C-alpha cells in the first residue's frame, strides 16, 4: 500500500512539541495517520519516518481498519509527550540552577552589590578591581552565556523564556563592553571608586557588632582597591582610552573633599543602644585607626596619581567617537543604555521634535497666566523670589513635602505598592558635581531608599522643578519601581534588581512625573510649567548628547543651547553638560523610555476600550521587573491580548 500522509490540524499540550496530529475525517478519507515527534527516530513496524521541517514524520502504511495501529499510535503519542515533558522539566531545572549560580557568582564578585541588595554575607570584603580580576569576570560571563545558549527553551512558559532572554542580554552587553575595554575608564567627575567607597558608611544598617567589624575589615582593604584601580587607569593611559582632561582634573579636589569630610568615621558618631561600652570603645578605636592608617593615606596617594600622572594625559576632544572604535563605541553606549537600535541622528531629530511639542504646551500655560509669550513668562519666574531657594534646607523640605503628599494617592494608580521607606538628603559637598539621584534601599527596609538632592549654590537654583523631580526620584518614580521590583515573587533573583536597563528605569521615572497631575497635583501653574520643564530638559538631552558625541558640538554650544531652552537653572546647565561629556548616551534613556511607556499606555487604552484599567496597566508595567524596551513591548502586547479575552 502506498504511503498516505495526512495533512491535518494539530493539537498541542501547553504549546509543547512534539505533538500528535489527528484528524478523523482525514484518516477515514486517506487510510493513514501521522505522528510528529522530536528526538525519536524509531518507526513503528509498517511505517517509515522522514525528516520534515526539523521534525520527524511517521507515515503509516496501514489502512484505518487496523485499529491496533491507532491504539499503538495513541500510546506512542502519550509516551512522546511524557518524555518531552521530562525534557522540559529537566531543561527548566537546569536553567533555574544556572540563574542561581550566576546570581551567586555576581554577589561573590561584587560584595558591595550584595550589600546594596541586603545580602550581608560578604560584608567584610570589597571587590577585586585588578586587571586580572576583570579578565576573570569576563571569562565567567562568557562561560555563563555559552551554557545559557545551550539550553533549549522550546516549551518554556513566557515568563521562563523572558528570564532566559533577559540574562542573555545582560551577559551580551557585559561582553560587548569588555571587548571595547570600557573598564579602562572607570572614573570621572560624576563619580567612581573614590566616591563609591565614601558611601560605604551609608550602605549598611550598622545594627550589630558584626556589621561594625565587617566595616573595619573593609576599611583595611581600601588601599588595595585604590591601588588596583590605578593599575586599570594605567592600562587606559597606555591604550589612550581617557576621559576629557578638564573633567579628570576635577577628581583630585573630590578626593580632598572626601578626606576633609571624613565620612568614614560616621559609624562612630552613634552606636545602637544595646552595645556595651567596651564594644563602643573598641570599635571606635579600630575604625579611627583604620581610617588614619589606611584610608586617608590611600586617598592622598590616589589623588596625587590622578593629579600628576592621569589627568594630564586626558583627551582634549569631547566626543567619545574620538577614541579608538569611536563610532562603534557610541553605538554600543546607545544600545546598552536605551535598548534601542536608533541612530544618533534619529535620536537628535526626535529631541528637536519633542522640544517643539513641549514648548507649545508651555506657551499655553504662559498665555493662560496673562503673558504674551513663553519668554516673558520665563523671565517673570526667574526673578520671582517665591521660586528662589533661601537655603539648602528649603530645597530638601520641598522634596519631602511632595513625596509625602503623593504617598496616600498611590492606591489610585497601583495595587502594587512599595513596602520600604524613603528618605531625602543633600548630596555631600565633596560630590557636588553629581545631579540629584536615587539610591536603592534594601528589601527588608533596614536601609531605606534615599533621594539624594543637589543643593549646592542654592541661591542660583530654582524651586520650580522640585515637584516633578521629587515624583521622579521618589514616588511614584524610582523608589516606587525599584522597591516593588525587590518585592516581586516567582522570579529568578537576578530579576529583582535593576540589570542596567536604563531606558526602562529612567523612562518609568520620567513617565511617573506626569502621574502627579493625574491625581490632582501641580496645582500651581508654575509647578505644572516645572513639570513640562523637566520633560523639556530630557528632550534637550537627546539633542545635546548626540550633538557632543556624533555632531562635534563644543561645550559652549551645549551650554548656549541649554540656556536658550530655558529648561534648567545655571548650576544644572554646567554640571549636566559635563555629565553628558563624561557619560555618553546615559541621558538618552529618560525620554526614549518615557515615550515607550506612553506609547504602550495609549495602545492598551485604544485596544481595550472600556476594559482598560489604569491600575492594572501600571501593575503590569512593574510586575515583570526591569526590561529592555523591545521585550517590554512584546510582553505588553501579550497582556493586552489576555485582557481582551477576559
* Helical pair 502-518 and 326-338, crossing angle rounded to 10 deg: 50
User: Does any domain span residue 611?
Assistant: no
User: pLDDT tens-digit profile of 580-609?
Assistant: 999 999 999 999 999 999 999 999 999 999
Distance from C-alpha of 480 to C-alpha of 474, rounded to nearest angstrom: 7
Residue-range definition of the domain harbouring residue 404: 331-600
Distance from C-alpha of 577 to C-alpha of 556, rounded to nearest angstrom: 9
Pair 410, 489 in one domain: yes
Pair 158, 217 in one domain: yes
Distance from C-alpha of 373 to C-alpha of 369, rounded to nearest angstrom: 10
Distance from C-alpha of 138 to C-alpha of 179, rounded to nearest angstrom: 9
Residue 45: pLDDT band with limits 50, 70, 90:
very low
CB 304 within 8 A of CB 241: no
Task: Choose the weakest-confidence range: 71-80, 97-106, 406-415.
Answer: 71-80
User: Does any domain span residue 641?
Assistant: no
Distance from C-alpha of 157 to C-alpha of 523, rounded to nearest angstrom: 46
* % residues pLDDT > 90 (the chain): 82
* % residues pLDDT > 70 (the chain): 87
Among 324, 346, 379, the domain boundary falls at 324
Pair 78, 113 in one domain: no
CB 254 within 8 A of CB 194: yes
pLDDT, average across residues 251-272: 96
Residue 69 has a pLDDT of 53
Among 39, 55, 87, the domain boundary falls at 87
Residue 38 has pLDDT above 60, yes or no: no
Q: What is the pTM of this model?
A: 0.85
Question: Contacts from 67-74 at CB under 8 Å and sequence distance 24+?
Answer: 69/33, 69/44, 70/33, 72/44, 73/20, 73/33, 73/35, 73/44, 74/20
Which residues contact residue 41 at a Cβ distance below 8 angstroms, ignoring those fewer than 6 apart?
Answer: 49, 56
Give 268: exposed, middle or buried? Use CB within 10 Å, 0-12, 13-18, 19+. Answer: middle
User: pLDDT tens-digit profile of 359-400?
Assistant: 999 999 999 999 999 999 999 999 999 999 999 999 999 999
Q: What is the helix (H) or strand (E) element at residue 59, kind and residue range?
A: strand 55-60
Q: For 425, list phi and psi in degrees, rounded to 5.
A: -145, 165
User: CB 255: neighbour CB atoms within 10 A?
Assistant: 24
User: Does any domain span residue 259?
Assistant: yes
Pair 172, 268 in one domain: yes
Residue 30: pLDDT band with limits 50, 70, 90:
very low
Pair 355, 478 in one domain: yes
Residue 8 has a pLDDT of 29
Pair 471, 580 in one domain: yes
Residue 433 has a pLDDT of 75
Task: Choose the weakest-confidence range: 36-40, 125-129, 571-575.
Answer: 36-40
Residue 569 has a pLDDT of 87
Q: Are strands 437-439 and 55-60 parallel, antiparallel or unpaired?
A: unpaired
Pair 99, 174 in one domain: yes
User: Does any domain span residue 223?
Assistant: yes
CB 476 within 8 A of CB 512: yes
Residue 83: pLDDT band with limits 50, 70, 90:
low
Number of domains in the chain: 3
Region for 12 from its dihedrals, namely left if φ exceeds 0, alpha if ψ lies in -120 to 50, beta otherwise: beta
User: Does any domain span residue 8?
Assistant: no
Pair 232, 257 in one domain: yes
**Across the chain, what does the average pLDDT equal?**
89
pLDDT, average across residues 63-75: 52
Residue 70 has pLDDT above 90, yes or no: no
Among 275, 291, 324, the domain boundary falls at 324
Q: Which three cell numbers stand for residue 78?
A: 502519550
Pair 65, 114 in one domain: no
Q: What is the DSSP letter of 308?
A: I
pLDDT, average across residues 180-198: 96
pLDDT, average across residues 223-252: 98
Pair 520, 450 in one domain: yes
Residues in the chain: 646
Q: In the chain, how long is the greatest CA-to-CA distance?
A: 97
User: Does any domain span residue 337?
Assistant: yes
N- to C-terminal Cα separation, the chain:
50
Residue 434 has a pLDDT of 82
User: Does any domain span residue 9?
Assistant: no
Burial 362-372 (b: 16+ CB within 10 A, else e): beebbeeeebe
Sign of the CA dihedral running 566, 567, 571, 574: negative
Indicate the SS3 state at residue 420: coil
Residue 346: pLDDT band with limits 50, 70, 90:
very high
Distance from C-alpha of 259 to C-alpha of 27, rounded to nearest angstrom: 85
User: CB 482: neighbour CB atoms within 10 A?
Assistant: 25
Residue 22 has a pLDDT of 29
User: CB 92: neighbour CB atoms within 10 A?
Assistant: 17
Tell the residue number behind the cell numbers 501600571, with chain if given. 618
Residue 55 has a pLDDT of 38
Residue 132 has pLDDT above 80, yes or no: yes
Pair 486, 596 in one domain: yes
Pair 308, 340 in one domain: no
User: Does any domain span residue 68?
Assistant: yes
Amino acid at each position: 500500500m502506498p504511503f498516505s500522509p495526512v495533512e491535518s490540524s494539530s493539537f498541542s499540550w501547553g504549546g509543547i512539541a512534539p505533538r500528535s496530529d489527528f484528524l478523523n475525517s482525514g484518516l477515514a478519507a486517506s487510510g493513514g495517520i501521522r505522528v510528529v515527534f522530536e528526538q525519536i527516530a524509531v518507526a513503528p513496524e509498517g511505517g517509515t519516518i522522514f525528516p520534515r521541517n526539523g521534525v520527524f514524520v511517521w507515515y503509516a502504511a496501514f489502512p484505518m481498519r487496523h485499529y491496533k495501529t491507532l491504539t499503538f499510535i495513541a500510546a506512542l503519542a502519550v509516551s512522546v509527550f511524557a518524555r518531552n515533558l521530562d525534557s522540559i522539566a529537566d531543561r527548566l531545572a537546569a536553567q533555574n540552577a544556572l540563574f542561581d549560580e550566576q546570581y551567586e557568582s555576581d554577589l561573590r564578585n561584587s560584595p558591595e552589590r550584595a550589600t546594596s541588595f541586603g545580602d550581608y554575607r560578604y560584608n567584610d570584603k570589597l571587590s577585586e578591581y585588578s586587571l586580572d580580576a576583570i579578565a576573570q569576570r569576563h571569562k565567567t560571563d562568557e562561560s555563563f552565556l555559552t551554557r545559557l545558549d545551550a539550553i533549549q527553551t522550546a516549551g518554556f512558559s513566557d515568563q521562563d523564556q523572558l528570564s532566559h532572554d533577559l540574562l542573555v542580554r545582560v551577559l551580551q552587553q557585559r561582553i560587548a563592553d569588555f571587548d571595547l575595554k570600557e573598564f579602562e575608564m572607570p572614573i570621572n567627575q560624576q563619580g567612581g571608586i573614590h566616591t563609591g567607597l565614601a558611601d560605604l558608611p551609608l550602605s549598611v544598617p550598622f545594627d550589630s557588632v558584626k556589621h561594625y567589624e565587617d566595616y573595619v575589615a573593609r576599611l583595611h582593604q581600601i588601599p588595595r582597591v585604590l591601588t588596583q584601580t590605578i593599575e586599570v587607569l594605567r592600562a587606559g593611559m597606555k591604550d589612550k582610552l581617557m576621559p576629557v582632561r578638564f573633567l579628570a582634573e576635577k577628581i583630585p579636589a573630590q578626593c580632598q573633599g572626601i578626606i576633609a569630610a571624613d565620612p568614614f568615621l560616621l559609624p562612630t558618631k552613634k552606636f545602637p543602644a544595646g552595645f556595651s561600652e567596651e564594644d563602643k570603645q573598641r570599635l571606635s578605636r579600630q575604625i579611627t585607626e583604620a581610617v588614619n592608617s589606611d584610608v586617608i593615606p590611600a586617598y592622598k596617594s590616589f589623588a596625587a596619581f590622578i593629579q600628576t600622572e592621569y589627568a594630564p594625559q586626558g583627551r582634549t576632544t569631547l566626543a567619545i567617537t574620538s577614541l579608538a572604535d569611536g563610532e562603534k563605541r557610541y553605538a554600543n553606549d546607545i544600545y546598552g543604555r536605551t535598548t534601542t537600535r536608533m541612530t544618533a541622528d534619529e535620536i537628535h531629530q526626535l529631541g528637536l521634535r519633542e522640544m517643539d511639542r513641549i514648548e507649545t504646551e508651555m506657551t499655553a500655560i504662559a498665555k493662560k497666566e496673562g503673558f504674551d509669550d513663553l519668554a516673558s513668562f520665563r523671565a517673570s519666574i526667574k526673578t520671582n523670589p517665591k521660586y528662589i531657594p533661601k537655603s539648602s534646607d528649603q530645597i530638601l523640605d520641598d522634596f519631602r513635602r511632595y513625596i509625602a503628599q503623593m504617598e496616600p494617592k498611590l492606591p489610585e494608580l497601583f495595587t502594587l505598592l512599595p513596602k520600604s521607606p524613603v528618605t531625602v538628603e543633600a548630596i555631600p559637598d565633596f560630590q557636588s558635581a553629581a545631579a540629584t539621584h536615587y539610591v536603592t534601599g534594601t528589601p527588608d527596609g533596614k536601609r531605606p531608599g534615599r533621594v539624594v538632592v543637589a543643593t549646592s549654590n542654592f541661591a542660583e537654583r530654582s524651586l520650580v522643578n522640585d515637584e516633578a523631580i521629587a515624583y521622579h526620584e521618589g514616588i511614584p518614580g524610582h523608589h516606587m519601581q525599584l522597591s516593588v521590583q525587590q518585592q516581586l515573587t516567582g522570579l529568578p533573583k537576578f530579576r529583582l534588581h535593576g540589570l542596567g536597563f536604563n531606558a526602562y528605569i529612567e523612562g518609568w521615572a520620567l513617565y511617573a512625573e506626569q502621574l502627579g497631575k493625574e491625581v490632582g497635583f501641580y496645582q500651581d501653574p508654575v509647578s505644572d510649567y516645572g513639570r513640562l520643564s523637566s520633560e523639556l530638559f530630557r528632550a534637550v538631552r537627546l539633542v545635546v548628547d548626540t550633538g557632543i558625541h556624533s555632531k562635534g558640538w563644543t561645550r559652549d554650544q551645549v551650554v548656549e543651547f541649554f540656556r536658550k531652552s530655558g529648561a534648567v537653572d545655571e548650576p544644572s546647565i554646567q554640571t549636566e553638560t559635563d555629565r553628558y561629556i563624561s557619560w555618553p548616551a546615559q541621558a538618552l534613556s529618560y525620554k526614549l523610555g518615557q515615550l515607550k511607556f506612553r506609547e504602550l499606555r495609549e495602545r492598551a487604552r485604544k485596544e481595550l476600550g472600556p476594559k482598560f484599567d489604569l491600575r492594572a496597566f501600571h501593575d503590569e508595567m512593574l510586575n515583570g521587573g526591569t526590561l529592555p524596551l523591545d521585550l517590554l513591548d512584546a510582553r505588553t502586547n501579550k497582556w493586552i491580548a489576555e485582557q481582551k479575552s477576559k
